[in-house]
Structure 1
């Protein structure tokens, strides 16, 4: 039995700088949201599975963010930590409509 996904408005697209993460809290979940050079918006769990580092403060390169504490490379698409490190963060579906960013939780 799958729970119904809720679509939540986060902010205007202009409030999310390109390649700079933004941390939000939705329904008690801490989420890091990113806008890439391509304009695509991704959202992942905001804490590194290794150090609990704030991923929203990490450096974005391509479709990855680097944990600011230990430099672990995390995919913004799959949430998977890249080898040789291991782990995964939750990913969230995002949507941009009328220049506003929504997330499905």
Structure 2
């Protein structure tokens, strides 16, 4: 039996030591929002779309604790393992597969190219009307 699920191609992103403990690093993509790579105090490395499911806040600027990150805009708690908001909040941000090997961090190249490339960050500020309307 054959499968159409080839071995993923991994893209080298950085060294684990390049990600601050309890912090993050952003990975720009040619299309779509950045991906945030997080490192917790237990040495875990996680990757999520850099967008809170609530109002689009940049999760890369949030506070990492355990296996969660607090969004810097409204303090929603997002799980680093699955991108799920903790109750009572509801919502999810896309997660990305991460591989750590010999101190290097890799992301799945296919996911980087395709996952959530259509999502945008909400525009902050008052709504504007066209002049003369």
TM-score, length of structure 2 as denominator length:
0.72
Larger RCO of the pair (alpha carbons < 8 Å, separation 6+): 1
Match of 1:24 among 24, 27, 31: 27
Once the two structures are superposed, what CA deviation does each residue of 1:6-51 show, in whole Å capped at 9, x if it has no partner?
3111011111111111111245342111111111100011101111
Q: For 1:21, what is the secondary structure of its paired residue? A: strand
Give 1 or 2 for the bigger CA radius of gyration: 2
Structure 2, unmatched stretches of 5+, are 112-133
Bigger strand fraction = 1
Count of residues in Structure 1 that have an aligned counterpart in Structure 2: 105
Alpha-carbon distance between aligned partners in 1 of 2:10 and 2:31, rounded to the nearest angstrom: 15
Q: For 2:41, what is the secondary structure of its paired residue? A: coil
CA-based RMSD of the aligned residues comes to 1.8
Of the structure 1 ranges 47-56 and 21-30, higher mean CA displacement relative to structure 2 is found in 21-30
TM-score, length of structure 1 as denominator length:
0.90
Runs of 4+ more than 3 Å apart = 1-6
Structure 1, unmatched stretches of 5+, are none
Alpha-carbon distance between aligned partners in 2 of 1:2 and 1:17, rounded to the nearest angstrom: 34
Matches within 5 A, 1:34-45: 34-45=38-49
